[in-house]
Amino acid sequence: MIPKVDIDTPALLIDLDVLEANIAHVAQSCRAHGVNWRPHFKGHKTLEIAKRQLAAGAIGITCAKLGEAEILGAAGIRDILIANQIVGDTKIARLVRLLDAADVIVSVDSPENIAALAQAAQGKRLRVVMEVNTGMNRAGVEPGEPALALAAEIAKHPSLHLVGVMGWEAHATSIADPVLKEKTVAAAISLLTATAAQCRKAGHDMQIVSCGGTGTFLYCVKQPGVTEVQVGGAVLSDEHYRGHHNVNMPVSLTLLATVTSRPAPTRVILDAGRKTMSGDAATPRPLNVSPVKDVWLSAEHARLELEAPSDAPRVGDRVEFVLGYTDTTVHLHEEIVAMRKGAVEAVWKVAGRGKIK
């Protein structure tokens, strides 16, 4: 087996022992609270991770893009939620074709989109969930009566099957005070569950009440009325989730880089910049390096400024980074190197890379 020191860089590494423990932890937390797990694919974009999540008990997979859903369907994964609106004739035609391979659920929030989906899906049956705005103020129909009116609109179309509601309480993710954060999450999700209750009372099928993400993981699984959560990035973990969202899961995904230059005793240059790891949500953190004062990323290089002069690391040495934000890093790579006990066990294709349509 190839040891870590022989891996060409830059390279994304995943520690399989940590990954599998993280998957088991999220799955067990969901079971303990009586909710299903439908993890997001958009962060890791890797079939091998999705299949491990399903094997651990996930009921299906959530994705952000139709192209990701096509990858999942081609791999034999049938229960797929596209947590986004699919708009336009070209995409809707692809969605309808995908129904031959997978039992897709798609998010809707407008009568215009509902009519277009219903027209294209004639002769088939497309599951839909209403996206409800629970305070994030991005997409989504407003809770309560507006959502009830939209449910009535969906019911007019035999080719559509309304199966529930979904929301995302993202506005709570960065709240530092755990008491306030839990109250904010609970208030947001109560809008979703109350809307589902109104729709049930009106005779609509509300099998699914879907919400949650890594940033609210500690609280969303506890909320009454929730049937499933979409927690995804927790199984990888990163500086953003740990530092800004206070979700301290062990880190399974790292970036390995090589020192290419030591032009000054306090300066270290590596072969991994913004095209390799993002710094948009948080700055990547180097491991096992003398105290670092600053990390700066250019297109092709990382520059570390040390707090004090040091001979280490030397040119040719490897430096491993905890990623700033996995969601905006994985898609930069073609593959992930799966490691076990410091040696390469497998190389996984990032199958969802480039699937932005």
Q: Residues 65-117: pLDDT tens digits?
A: 999 999 999 999 999 999 999 999 999 999 999 999 999 999 999 999 999 99
Question: Mean pLDDT across the stretch 209-227?
Answer: 98
Instruction: For residues 187 and 117, state if they share a domain.
Output: yes
The answer to whether position 323 is within a domain reads yes
Query: For residue 261, what are its two tokens?
Result: 């230059």
Q: How confident is the model at residue 2 (pLDDT cuts 50, 70, 90)?
A: confident
**pTM confidence score:** 0.97
230 closest CA partner among 107, 93, 60, 344 = 60
Show Cβ contacts of residue 284 under 8 Å, excluding neighbours closer than 6 positions: 239, 255, 277, 295, 297, 302, 321, 322, 323, 324
Residue 286's identity, in one-letter code, is P
- CB-CB contact of 4 with 329 (8 Å): no
For residue 84, what pLDDT is reported? 98
Where a domain ends, among 176, 209, 233?
A: 233
**Count of structural domains, the chain:** 2
The answer to whether position 357 is within a domain reads no
CATH code of the domain containing 327: 2.40.37.20
Q: Distance between CA 129 and CA 289 in Å, rounded?
A: 48
Using the structure block, give the residue that is written with the tokens 């599998």: 20
Question: Mean pLDDT across the stretch 137-165?
Answer: 98
- What letter does residue 65 receive in the DSSP assignment? S
Q: Which domain holds residue 320?
A: 4-10+249-349
Burial (0-12, 13-18, 19+ Cβ within 10 Å), 4: middle
Residue 242 predicted with pLDDT over 80: yes
The answer to whether position 243 is within a domain reads no
Residue 1 predicted with pLDDT over 90: no
For residue 3, what pLDDT is reported? 86
